[in-house]
Chain A
Amino acid sequence: GDSVTQMEGPVTLSEEAFLTINCTYTATGYPSLFWYVQYPGEGLQLLLKATKADDKGSNKGFEATYRKETTSFHLEKGSVQVSDSAVYFCALSSGYSTLTFGKGTMLLVSP
């Protein structure tokens, strides 16, 4: 079946540091890939998505590239802010409406 593996957290960074959160997946066919973000006390928000190989999703300075050859969708940001502190979830959809989520990675950014 489908699965998503994310790096364990928490990831602790200083403001303006470079961020990478690794995500790899196992799926049949050609899934769509997503990153969601959950701020404290809130629901999940769609951060970015990519629907086919080599697509790059981007939003709010975050980027992720759909790499079919390595089955990866790593999240990156060049300069993090304190306000980016949240839990980040990688997810996929294999052509059906249900999503398969990773366990989430907590990011803590200090001033």
Chain B
Amino acid sequence: ETGVTQTPRHLVMGMTNKKSLKCEQHLGHNAMYWYKQSAKKPLELMFVYNFKEQTENNSVPSRFSPECPNSSHLFLHLHTLQPEDSALYLCASSQEDANSYEQYFGPGTRLTVT
């Protein structure tokens, strides 16, 4: 595998379910991100991890719970979601001490909450 991978690619869940999204980066980066992309809305940054420590949480509801066990893996645990949480969830990574801070994205998980 190369780049940033995400699983599953598609997920349908009920409002009472618990599920997890997984992201893995194979680039040797030390920062990872979760974004939410909804139709006709700007890309929303949800969480940032630098060196496995959470450095940013953009007022995300507690029904979204991130976990970063090491610098290569990032999870997003989901529970009691709402229909408005249906969106494309994108993971990205970057090298924190680089000069230009470009981020590399995974293909995303298309989440539908019923």
Name A70-111 residues within 8 Å CB distance of B: 89, 93, 95-99, 101-104
CB <8 Å contact, A43 and B90: yes
Chain B positions 24 through 35: 1 when the CB is less than 8 Å from some CB of chain A, otherwise 0:
000000010100
- A98 adjacent to B45 (CB under 8 Å): yes
Query: A43 to B42, Cβ gap below 8 A?
Result: no
Among B6, B42, B50, max chain A CB count under 10 A is at: B42
Q: B99 to nearest A CB, angstroms?
A: 6
Shortest A77–chain B CB gap in Å is 20
Total inter-chain residue pairs, C-beta < 8 Å: 53
A98 and B100 in contact (CB under 8 A), knowing A42-B107, A42-B108, A45-B105?
no
- Would you call the interface of chain A mostly helix, strand, loop, or mixed? loop
Chain B, interface residues (CB within 8 Å), range: 20 to 34
Interface check A32, CB cutoff 8 A:
yes
In the complex, the answer to whether B108 meets A98 with C-beta atoms within 8 Å is: no
- Shortest A19–chain B CB gap in Å is 22
Task: Tell me if A49 and B100 are in contact (CB < 8 A).
Answer: yes
Cβ of B31 and Cβ of A97 under 8 Å apart?
yes
A32 to B48, Cβ gap below 8 A?
A: no
How many interface residues does chain A have, given as a range?
Answer: 20 to 34
Query: In the complex, which residues 28-81 of chain B have their Cβ closer than 8 Å to any Cβ of chain A?
Result: 31, 33, 42-43, 45, 48, 50, 56
- Indicate if A17 sits at the interface (CB-CB under 8 A): no
Give the CA-CA distance A31 to B100 in the complex, in Å.
9
Which chain B residues lie closer than 8 Å to A104 at the CB level? 42-43
Interface residues of B (CB under 8 A from A): 4, 6, 31, 33, 42-43, 45, 48, 50, 56, 90, 92, 94, 96, 99-108
